[in-house]
Amino acid sequence: MAVTTCIFDAYGTLFEVAAAARIAAKEPGREEFAAKWPQVAADWRAKQLQYTWLRAVSDTHTDFWQVTQDGLDYALEAAGLATADLRKRLLALYFELAAFPEVPKMLKQLKKDGLCTGILSNGSPEMLGGAVKSAAIGDSLDKVLSVQSVGVFKPHKSVYDMVGQHFSCQPDQVLFISSNGWDAAYAAHYGFHTVWVNRAQDPMDRLPSQPSYSMPDLTGIPELAASI
């Protein structure tokens, strides 16, 4: 069955999560942070994801904004940079994340080809709304779906169920794209065609399923969607 719907993870896939730390590091008076921002960004992202998994398996759900703050607090303390001013600035910048350069053109091509497009993310509705607005890609998205609707983080099955419920499609009509190998793998296990956007050229996670395809960026998504 042909693909009718392209669904994207948000953070790290459409939006560059390290941008907040990189931008703050270039601001006057942040020389100490500038020396450590790559590690802060990496720790922030790692803890953000780890906390979603732990909350999912322990049935202690909260919204992604709380998880994002918790991850940042850990990262700043680990770097010896736990100041209120820096924390406030980094959190503000998270609502202004830039899209990767190829994203606007890629999404417009999918819409031109007659495909439905959407986001399926752990992000809270407010966070996702801010990122979509900042990146100016709202006109190229049919729906922005947040796990807040089901009260559990990825990769729980009920999260992937949301796609069929909102787009009235079967799993094999969906091309799901994520920069998280584990997300693409479990979406493949669910029944989606999946793409792992492996920008860092990381090794494949050892999981029960694997992504259907791997790409270095999102440029080839329209061509792939048309070929399935």
DSSP track, 151-187: T--TT-HHHHHHHHHHH---GGGEEEEES-HHHHHHH
* Domains detected in the chain: 5-15+97-227 (3.40.50.1000), 19-95 (1.10.150.240)
In the prediction, which pLDDT does 156 show? 97
Q: What is the pTM of this model?
A: 0.96
In the prediction, which pLDDT does 204 show? 95
Distance CA 84, CA 175 (A): 41
Over the chain (228 residues), what is each successive 10-residue block's mean pLDDT?
A: 96 97 97 98 98 98 98 98 97 94 98 98 97 96 98 98 98 98 98 98 96 98 97
In the prediction, which pLDDT does 1 show? 75
- In the set 9, 73, 85, 183, the catalytic residue is 9
Contacts of 2 (CB under 8 A, 6+ apart): 173, 228
**What tokens appear for 76 in the block?**
């700043």
Active site residue 9: yes
